[in-house]
Structure 1
């Protein structure tokens, strides 16, 4: 199955549909945050997640609550830029099938971050689909921009590495 996922033409077609769904989900979430009536502010979300880290039966693991308190909330201005732009760019990458593996990895990182912060929503489903995209590697972008971008990047990296060895 792994070989089929990474090399099969029909797998690439199925992965294209998965890629478009996950990409659209992230693109639309990022667009809502960037074009909403109010500027995106993660402060309330972070404070709510930090509260879920306390009490008798915490929903958020203590170490993640500490990260949210000491890193994310302390640098909320940075996260207010990273979250919407990260969602938007990862969504575009998946929809176009360009740098698909990296885009899928970024989507997984964001989904796990939301999940660890106590938000369920679509995150488990998107994580599962993201793992398929990640496991498929370049085949997930076979019917997208990766068809041209990845060979070009390989050629450029060989040229650069070849010059360094001289």
Structure 2
């Protein structure tokens, strides 16, 4: 089987997924700005008691651990007589589903911080959540080369090419 290096589905699928992820990630700074008007009526105020920031930090550590240990697992592709384009489309569907799952886990860190910000009545908690969630999202869920290669390696564990990156992964 030949490996399609410039298949028309690959750039379109990646571009589409990247656009969706960028739109979803933009919600975090936008919500942070909106919550500024709700929670920071008197400026930033004092830093909250230690437990809300620690809960957000623990959620970020948990999300990172989940994404690193479980987020890129997928059943390997099985040998079949399917055409390469069909295998590639299936690989992109599985990668997209995995990306959305990892994004939801990363965004949960921010959503937890929003809830805790109202409990603690402090905008600092929202800031901490945004500062932790955005880099976590870009590391674990952004459909870049790193995440694409990691997922392709899981798909190709039995030696069946996924055509996700255009080449067989080690």
Tell me the TM-score normalised to structure 1 length: 0.30
Larger RCO, structure (CA 8 Å, separation 6 or more): 2
Larger radius of gyration: 2
Tell me the TM-score normalised to structure 2 length: 0.30
Structure with greater proportional helix content: 1
